[in-house]
Amino acid sequence: MRTKLLLAALLLPLALPLQAALAPGAKAPIFTAPGASAGKPLDVNLAAALKNGPVVLYFFPAAFTKGCNAEAHAFAEALPDFTKAGATVIGMTAGNVDQLQKFSSEYCAGKFAVAAASPAIVKGYDVLLKKPDGTPSTVTSRTSFVIAPNGRILFAHTDMNPGDHVKLTLQAVRNYRAGKRN
């Protein structure tokens, strides 16, 4: 019985919904970060992307993990919808950044850029995943932001389950384009 209670206490923080650090209306930290698209290295610049319209910036824990693979694939599959809505998609991680070139061509299907989140970017967006004991880990949480061209956060969603990130961010972009508030 005691073991079950201890296990439940350790898993409780993972079961609770997480809150995105930057709330709608906050100014998104501008960055340039090394990344890749379609297997080729490139610098990802948020300010440049925002000149083209809203940006969906999604943080993921680590490339080549089950949830992150599924999420990247889902964003790649939905990219025509994001493009039609005028949005750019960028993936970011602090985990295994040495694998981004391969990940960008395989799971992102070469359709959008993924970048390495530096400690300053992780801190600015406050997306460092915490361990069950509350101490910081070395990977980012699964958090998606929709950022308006003026650099303000329109929408934020944190949930370690990758299932709703694409649907919710696409709806936020569509709401923005339609002049609605989220």
* Tens digit of each residue's pLDDT (9 = 90 or more) over 26-84: 999 999 999 999 999 999 999 999 999 999 999 999 999 999 999 999 999 999 999 99
Q: Which long-range contacts (CB under 8 A, 24 or more apart) does 130-134 make?
A: 130/13, 132/10, 132/11, 132/13, 132/14, 133/10, 134/13
**Domain of residue 36, residue span:** 22-158
- Across the range 123-127, mean pLDDT stands at 94
Within a domain: 169: no
Say if residue 97's pLDDT is above 80: yes
What single-letter amino acid sits at 25?
Answer: G
Within a domain: 49: yes
Within a domain: 107: yes
Within a domain: 165: no
Within a domain: 118: yes
Q: What is the pTM of this model?
A: 0.86
Within a domain: 176: no
Residue 3: its H or E element:
helix 2-15
User: What is the domain-level CATH number for residue 137?
Assistant: 3.40.30.10
Within a domain: 15: no
Within a domain: 164: no
Query: How many domains does the chain contain in total?
Result: 1
Q: How confident is the model at residue 131 (pLDDT cuts 50, 70, 90)?
A: confident
Cβ neighbours for 104, distance < 8 A, ≥ 6 positions apart: 35, 36, 37, 38, 39, 110, 113, 114
